[in-house]
Amino acid sequence: MTKFTVISILALIFVLPILMLLPIKMVPSGDQPGYGDMGRVSIYGTRTFTQEFISKNNNLMAVGTTIKNPNLKNKKNINFSLYDEKNNLIREVMLNGFNVGDGDFVKIVFDPLSDSKNKKFKFIISSPTAGEEEIIELFLITPTDSVLNYNYGEETKEGGIPMVTFHKSEGVLTNVKTIYSNIFSKWRIK
């Protein structure tokens, strides 16, 4: 009975992570950010928000941030446009405010960019058909190693929105290798 228990526990330790990694399509570059502590900006009509950031890994395929939709009033389109360093439009995503809750963490997903590691990008968030009563709000933070600066109105300032980038998973085998190397590194004697 003891031999069966040991084998069962070892199977759970080594096989279960592999099964859990199968459905993973994208991996975050960091922790999910909280709300910003530097105030908020309102997006509607001609008021847009531009953010510069650096991708930490290749295969950039999503940007996640918290968007405030006060009283769920914005049911208009929210546009996300991603540009490269040379200001070329490379991805465009349209969300509907109806699907964005008040203070929801929103993942804006697009086709992966294979050569994105350590490259600078910028995105613009707008809601051109929304009126003053249909605003969305973005929280602001001070600059980090990947969040550089933002433009709101006519002003460019350091910092931006609390965000995390997501990258296409490099495959189950790479994920398994990472998980097990992390597990075994904790067991090593220092």
Inside any domain, residue 149: yes
pLDDT of 171 reads 75
Between the alpha carbon of residue 153 and those of residues 2, 8, 106, the distances in Å are 68, 60, 23
Inside any domain, residue 96: yes
Between the alpha carbon of residue 40 and those of residues 18, 54, 105, 140, 178, the distances in Å are 41, 22, 15, 6, 37
pLDDT tens, residue by residue, 23-39: 778 888 888 888 878 89
Range of the domain at 79: 26-179
Predicted confidence band at 53 (pLDDT cuts at 50, 70, 90)?
Answer: very high
Q: Which residues contact 126 (CB under 8 A, 6 or more apart)?
A: 43, 47, 48, 49, 78, 79, 81
Inside any domain, residue 103: yes
pLDDT tens, residue by residue, 121-137: 999 999 999 999 999 99
CATH number of the domain to which 130 belongs = 2.60.120
Task: Give the type of residue at 149.
Answer: N
Inside any domain, residue 20: no
Inside any domain, residue 15: no
Considering its fold, how many domains does the chain have in total?
Answer: 1
| 17: pLDDT strictly greater than 90 | no
Inside any domain, residue 163: yes
pLDDT tens, residue by residue, 54-113: 999 999 999 999 999 998 899 999 999 999 999 999 999 999 998 998 888 999 999 999
pLDDT of 32 reads 80
Inside any domain, residue 81: yes
**Residue predicted with more confidence, 130 or 185:** 130
Inside any domain, residue 172: yes
